[in-house]
């Protein structure tokens, strides 16, 4: 049986145990021998769980463990020079073996590779037999043990609920595991990168030229690979700044209009329309930026006698600004609405006009929230990927001119990691270091926004 | 403020001052109102511009030009071994049959140059199309049938008027000779403009006229399936635990901080995690919907958890008290009463999370779903791509017809997103309860 079928079989067995457990509990109840502690279906679930849980655990262990074990065993077949080589050589050797296993052949296969592949196939066949017998035995015996415990006084509901609680706790730990996964995956590769490239060169270097790496390694000259992240961060913040100059005024004034002036009807129409802008996939914005906005910016700039790159920061920034308008407007809208009506009424009572009340009373009261919204928008803009990949170009120019082509952290990450990469090269690893910086930046921005809201929040009630 | 002394004005003076300033203040008020209106108008203007841009290019992209040819289905030519199977048909000369009828329609041009130009008229996928036709209609062998073949993408672009006749011949991609042929076919009424079947049923192709979104659409659906199967139970379970059972302790606090942080992590970072963990460390294959779905599930998890928690919080405590009062256990209260009542809100949040996942591109680029794959994926472990990534790939191709195809694919994607969001809104309206 394949592993999928095995899993299905386990589920079928546990379903049978459910029926059996429920039936025996019902029989106990109808014997009038006494009062059943738990409802019959809890007994059924108990029997099913004792059958399925250990069996699935064993199955999963075998599934994950077998390849690791086989990789270890396969080393016995590797010749001396591979074992004495570095990790790359061993990875190549393993790849060759896995090609043999999958029946892919590129010309002549070395005898030891063939031997290892044949052995692997043999082990795999054995593993399936072992897994089948072990898993089925565990599921049958486990279910039987659970089933035998069912009697009148057996507290199956309590046990089932306890298992359920642990499953809920397990689910909520996934969030933590994800964070750990993100941090570890980025951190380890970054540490390897910093072993190759000194951190100060990366953090303060003004030049970004990873493409020379191959030439450097081959010793053919033609330039040195440099890994300075400053141009990318300047590009990122240039584009974000352009985006914010578009989004802050439009978003903020829209929010003020919607919260303070608009009738409920207009509000009911305009607000969802603005939120459509937030729901449009970023790849669509990227397409729009590259195809429509960038040529437009270029032609307008050239008609004014300016030199505009065809992938200018301005075009990407403008479109990104449009993307974050709803972000700023709906967050600010919430904050403005949270300012109590009594403050406005007091302002009107002193004879102020609506705009005076907004400018001198409502906005100051809402300011911390608005600042937080803007910071969150910055973090959104910094992490935004597709628009810059499609519209901002790849040239790592250190430039503050919005008409130049610049590149960003995210677009470099994508460029480096799309396609095949070798995991030992500094170029690939640099993407992880960039990602680490990106995470630190966005989390710092979010933390900052949270602190502002916490510190300056006015308590009105 | 305290060290300034104000001279008391007499009421008359004060009234005059107010009067003098009132016009200015009114003007300021109007200006402020107009600023707000302009901002809303600009934002909506962008929306209109975006959609107009996409629709104006995308709606023509849903159609393409076909040329109708009368093909003689000669059994000996098309199926030399006569078994009518895919293998035996592969030996047939479909190109020959099509070209014969094409030359016939063009008045049998002489000379190699003329014939070469004529061949450039129809799509290179035409023989495949004829083969499929024969497979579907074996009874029509040995008869004359008229079949619509797609025209080549350059010809299509010309027919749309995007290549001008006035351009010097050397500067455009089609020759005067070819234009003459097109005119002749058009005069005969053989050229038609119809809904593109390649767009919806074709797979990835470098030839713009044959490129379609079917593979990407299937890939998107598979990826979303994996995503929802993982994210929905996990999200709901987490929300239930945090809202109903979690004690106020350090662990709970850490989980909550984690969820908020995850919501703030840029999507591309989830892709990097997927690459480093699932592909490099676990050795899973690249480009498969399974890995894509897992990555998207982890990405949408915070959205689902946050909205599910809101939905659970909206269930009034009296419900719980009543259930506990008649002897239900904590778990029974949650499973039988709180969860069913919170379900509409949870589903709404899940649909919105799925819409977000459907439009996501960057993390899927990281795990290699950007590969050029012609086959339609048959399962979650077959390599495939998804709609937004397909759009990204097409946007990079130089052929002009791809601009329309890309826009058409965007229209399809937006249609899915809008209907998902509309479903969420409807669900909320229909099932929402006020307590």
Same domain, B316 and B405: yes
The predicted pLDDT at position A27 comes to 87
Same domain, A380 and A235: yes
Residue A78 has pLDDT above 80, yes or no: no
Q: Is B72 exposed, middle or buried (0-12, 13-18, 19+ CB in 10 A)?
A: middle
What CATH number does the domain containing A401 carry?
1.10.3720.10
The predicted pLDDT at position A420 comes to 63
Which of B195, B230, B248 delimits the end of a domain? B195
Residue A87 lies in a domain: yes
pLDDT tens digits along A329-376: 999 999 999 899 999 999 999 989 999 999 999 999 999 899 999 999
Which of A154, A171, A194 delimits the end of a domain? A154
Same domain, A148 and A245: no
pLDDT tens digits along A95-110: 777 777 777 666 677 7
Same domain, A255 and A138: no
Same domain, A236 and A146: no
How high is the mean pLDDT of chain A?
86
* Residues with pLDDT less than 70, chain B: 1-6, 434-435
Same domain, B190 and B218: no
Same domain, B181 and B85: yes
Q: Do B258 and A281 touch (CB under 8 A)?
A: no
Residue B176 lies in a domain: yes
In order, the DSSP letters of A349-363 are: HTT--HHHHIIIIIH
What mean pLDDT comes out for the span A421-441?
A: 85
**Nearest alpha carbon to residue B159 among B58, B63, B59:** B63
Which of A133, A154, A175 delimits the end of a domain? A154
Q: Which helix (H) or strand (E) holds A312?
A: none
Which pLDDT band holds residue A459 (cuts at 50, 70, 90)?
low
Cα distances (angstroms) measured from residue A152 to each of A25, B149, B301: 8, 75, 42
Q: In this prediction, what percent of chain B has a pLDDT beyond 70?
A: 98
Residue A161 lies in a domain: no
Q: Which helix (H) or strand (E) holds A74?
A: helix A40-74
A387 in Cβ contact with B362 (< 8 Å): no
Same domain, B94 and B122: yes
Instruction: For residues B10 and A155, give the distance between their C-alpha atoms in angstroms, rounded to a whole number.
Output: 88
Same domain, B245 and B134: no
Residue B41 lies in a domain: no
User: Which residues 324-383 in chain A show a CB within 8 A of chain B?
Assistant: 325-326, 329, 353-356, 358-359, 376, 379, 382-383
A446 in Cβ contact with A379 (< 8 Å): yes
Among the partner-chain residues B237, B413, B421, the one whose CB lies closest to the CB of A167 is B237
Residue A213 lies in a domain: no
Chain center to CA of B185? 35
Q: Do A168 and B237 touch (CB under 8 A)?
A: yes
Same domain, A144 and A234: no
Residue A88 at interface with chain B, using a CB cutoff of 8 Å: no
Q: Do A385 and B277 touch (CB under 8 A)?
A: no
Q: Is B173 helix (H, G, I), strand (E, B) or coil?
A: coil
Residue A187 lies in a domain: no
Residue B53 lies in a domain: no
Measure B258 CA to nearest chain A CA, in Å: 6
Residue B398 lies in a domain: yes
Among the partner-chain residues B234, B245, B359, the one whose CB lies closest to the CB of A174 is B234
Angle, vertex CA B429, rays to CA B428 and CA B435, nearest 5 = 85
Which of B165, B195, B225 delimits the end of a domain? B195
Instruction: For residues B48 and A109, give the distance between their C-alpha atoms in angstroms, rounded to a whole number.
Output: 61
Residue A152 at interface with chain B, using a CB cutoff of 8 Å: no
What mean pLDDT comes out for the span A235-255?
A: 94
Same domain, B295 and B399: yes
Residue B204 lies in a domain: no
Same domain, B219 and B71: no
Instruction: For residues A179 and B302, give the distance between their C-alpha atoms in angstroms, rounded to a whole number.
Output: 12
Q: Is B318 exposed, middle or buried (0-12, 13-18, 19+ CB in 10 A)?
A: exposed
Domain that holds residue A380: 230-456
Nearest CA in chain B to A159: B331
Q: Do B276 and A169 touch (CB under 8 A)?
A: no
Cα distances (angstroms) measured from residue B331 to each of A39, A225, B1: 14, 60, 63
Residue B327 lies in a domain: yes
Cα distances (angstroms) measured from residue B16 to each of A134, B23, B414: 98, 12, 60
The predicted pLDDT at position B227 comes to 95
Residue B193 at interface with chain A, using a CB cutoff of 8 Å: no
A25 in Cβ contact with A45 (< 8 Å): no
Measure B100 CA to nearest chain A CA, in Å: 40
A174 in Cβ contact with B346 (< 8 Å): no
pLDDT tens digits along B90-101: 777 888 888 888
Same domain, B298 and B402: yes
Domains held by chain A: number: 2
Q: Do B266 and A383 touch (CB under 8 A)?
A: yes
What CATH number does the domain containing B312 carry?
1.10.3720.10
* φ, ψ (nearest 5 deg) of residue A219: 75, 20
Same domain, B286 and B373: yes
Q: Do A176 and B267 touch (CB under 8 A)?
A: no
Cα distances (angstroms) measured from residue A31 to each of A24, A28, A77, A389, B37: 11, 5, 65, 72, 78
* φ, ψ (nearest 5 deg) of residue A93: -60, -45
Domains held by chain B: number: 2
Q: How many contacts does A have with B, using Cβ atoms within 8 A? A: 244
Beta bridge partner(s), residue B68: B148
Which of A102, A124, A154 delimits the end of a domain? A154
Residue A246 at interface with chain B, using a CB cutoff of 8 Å: no
Structural tokens at position A421: 């990469």
Who wins on pLDDT, B304 or A4?
B304
Which of A187, A285, A287, A354 best probes binding to B when mutated, by most B CB atoms within 10 angstroms?
A287
Same domain, A128 and A260: no
Residue A171 lies in a domain: no
**Nearest alpha carbon to residue B295 among A182, A410, A428, A409:** A182
Residue B31 lies in a domain: no
Residue A157 at interface with chain B, using a CB cutoff of 8 Å: yes
Q: Give A207-263 as a 3 state SS string.
A: CECHHHHHHHHHCCCCCCCCECCHHHHHHHHHHHHHHHHHHHHHHHHHHHHHHHHCC
Same domain, B171 and B219: no
The predicted pLDDT at position B1 comes to 47
Q: Do B366 and A282 touch (CB under 8 A)?
A: no
Same domain, B322 and B405: yes
Which of A102, A161, A174, A382 best probes binding to B when mutated, by most B CB atoms within 10 angstroms?
A174
B394 in Cβ contact with B409 (< 8 Å): yes
Which pLDDT band holds residue A212 (cuts at 50, 70, 90)?
low
Domain that holds residue B246: 214-431
Cα distances (angstroms) measured from residue A75 to each of A67, A72, A79, A88, A104: 13, 6, 8, 14, 20
Residue A172 lies in a domain: no
Same domain, B394 and B278: yes
What mean pLDDT comes out for the span A35-57?
A: 89
Q: Is A140 helix (H, G, I), strand (E, B) or coil?
A: helix
Does the CA dihedral A442-A448-A451-A452 come out positive or negative? negative
Instruction: For residues B279 and B274, give the distance between their C-alpha atoms in angstroms, rounded to a whole number.
Output: 7
């Amino acid at each position: 049986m394949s592993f999928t079928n095995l899993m299905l079989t386990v589920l079928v067995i546990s379903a049978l145990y459910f029926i059996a457990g429920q039936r025996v509990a019902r029989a106990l109840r109808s014997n009038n021998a006494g009062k059943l502690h738990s409802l019959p279906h809890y007994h059924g679930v108990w029997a099913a769980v004792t059958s399925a849980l250990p069996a699935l655990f064993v199955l999963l262990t075998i599934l994950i463990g077998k390849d690791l074990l086989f990789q270890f065993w396969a080393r016995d077949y590797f010749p001396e020079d591979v074992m004495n080589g570095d990790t790359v050589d061993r990875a190549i050797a393993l790849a060759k073996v896995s090609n043999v296993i999958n029946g892919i052949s590129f010309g002549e296969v070395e005898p030891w590779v063939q031997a290892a592949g044949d052995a692997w196939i043999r082990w795999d066949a054995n593993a399936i037999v072992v897994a089948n017998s072990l898993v089925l035995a565990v599921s049958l015996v486990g279910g039987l043990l659970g089933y035998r415990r069912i009697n009148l006084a057996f507290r199956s509901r309590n046990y089932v609920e306890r298992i359920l609680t642990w499953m809920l706790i397990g689910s909520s730990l996934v969030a933590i595991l994800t964070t750990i996964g993100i941090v570890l995956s980025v951190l380890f590769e970054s540490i390897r990168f910093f072993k190759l490239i000194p951190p100060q060169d990366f953090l303060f270097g003004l030049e970004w030229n990873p493409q020379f790496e191959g030439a450097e390694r081959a010793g053919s000259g033609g330039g040195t690979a440099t890994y300075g992240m400053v141009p990318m961060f300047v590009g990122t913040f240039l584009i974000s700044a352009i985006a914010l100059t578009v989004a802050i005024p439009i978003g903020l004034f829209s929010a003020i209009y919607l919260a303070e002036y608009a009738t409920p009807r207009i509000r009911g129409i305009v607000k969802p329309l603005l939120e459509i802008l937030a729901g449009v996939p970023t790849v669509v914005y990227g397409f729009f930026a590259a195809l429509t906005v960038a040529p437009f910016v270029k032609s307008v700039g050239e008609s004014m006698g300016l030199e505009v790159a065809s992938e200018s920061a301005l075009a990407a920034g403008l479109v990104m600004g449009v993307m974050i308008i709803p972000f700023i407007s709906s967050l600010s809208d919430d904050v403005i609405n949270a300012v109590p009506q009594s403050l406005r009424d007091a302002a009107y009572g002193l004879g102020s006009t609506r705009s005076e009340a907004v400018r001198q009373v409502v906005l100051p009261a809402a300011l911390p929230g608005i600042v937080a919204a803007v910071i969150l928008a910055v973090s959104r803009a910094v992490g935004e990927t597709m628009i810059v990949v499609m519209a901002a170009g790849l040239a790592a120019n250190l430039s503050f001119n919005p008409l130049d082509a610049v590149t960003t952290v995210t677009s470099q990450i994508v460029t480096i990691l799309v396609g095949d990469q070798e995991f030992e090269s500094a170029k690939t690893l640099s993407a992880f270091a960039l990602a680490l910086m990106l995470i630190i930046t966005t989390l710092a921005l979010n933390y900052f926004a949270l602190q502002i809201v916490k510190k300056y929040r006015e308590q009105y009630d | 403020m305290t060290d300034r002394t104000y001279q008391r004005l007499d009421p008359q003076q004060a009234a005059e001052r107010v009067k003098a300033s009132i016009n200015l203040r009114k003007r300021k008020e109007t200006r402020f109102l107009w600023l707000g209106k302009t901002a809303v108008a600009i934002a909506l203007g962008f929306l209109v511009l975006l959609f107009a841009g996409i629709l104006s290019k995308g709606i023509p992209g849903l159609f393409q030009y076909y040329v109708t040819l009368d093909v003689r289905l000669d059994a000996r030519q098309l199926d030399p071994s006569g078994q009518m199977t895919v293998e035996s048909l592969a030996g047939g000369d479909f190109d020959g049959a099509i070209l014969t009828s094409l030359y016939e329609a063009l008045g049998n041009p002489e000379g190699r140059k003329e014939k070469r130009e004529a061949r450039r008229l129809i799509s290179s996928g035409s023989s495949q199309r004829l083969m499929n036709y024969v497979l579907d209609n074996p009874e029509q062998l040995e008869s004359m049938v008229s079949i619509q073949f797609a025209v080549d993408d350059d010809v299509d672009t010309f027919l749309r008027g995007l290549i001008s006749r006035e351009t010097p011949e050397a500067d455009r991609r089609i020759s005067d000779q070819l234009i003459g042929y097109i005119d002749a076919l058009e005069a005969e009424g053989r050229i038609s403009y119809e809904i593109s079947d390649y767009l919806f049923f074709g797979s990835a192709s470098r030839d713009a006229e044959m490129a379609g979104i079917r593979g990407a659409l299937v890939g998107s659906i598979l990826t979303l399936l994996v995503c929802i199967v993982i994210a929905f139970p996990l999200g709901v379970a987490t929300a239930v635990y945090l809202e109903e059972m979690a004690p106020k302790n350090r662990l709970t606090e850490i989980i909550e901080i984690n969820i908020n942080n995850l919501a703030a992590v840029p999507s591309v970072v989830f892709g990097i995690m997927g690459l480093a963990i699932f592909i490099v460390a676990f050795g899973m294959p690249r480009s498969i919907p399974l890995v894509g779905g897992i990555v998207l599930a982890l990405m949408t998890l915070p959205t689902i958890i946050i909205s599910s928690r809101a939905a659970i919080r909206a269930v009034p405590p009296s419900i719980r008290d009543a259930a506990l009062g008649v002897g239900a256990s904590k778990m029974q209260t949650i499973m039988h009463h709180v969860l069913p009542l919170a379900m509409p809100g949870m589903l709404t949040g899940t649909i919105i999370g799925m819409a977000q996942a459907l439009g996501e591109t960057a993390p899927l680029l990281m795990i290699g779903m950007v590969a050029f794959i012609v086959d339609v994926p048959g399962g979650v472990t077959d390599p495939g791509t998804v709609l937004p990534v397909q759009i990204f790939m097409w946007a990079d191709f130089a052929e002009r017809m791809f601009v329309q195809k890309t826009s058409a694919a965007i229209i399809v994607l937006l249609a899915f997103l809008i209907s998902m969001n509309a479903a969420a809104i409807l669900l909320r309206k229909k099932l929402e309860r006020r307590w």
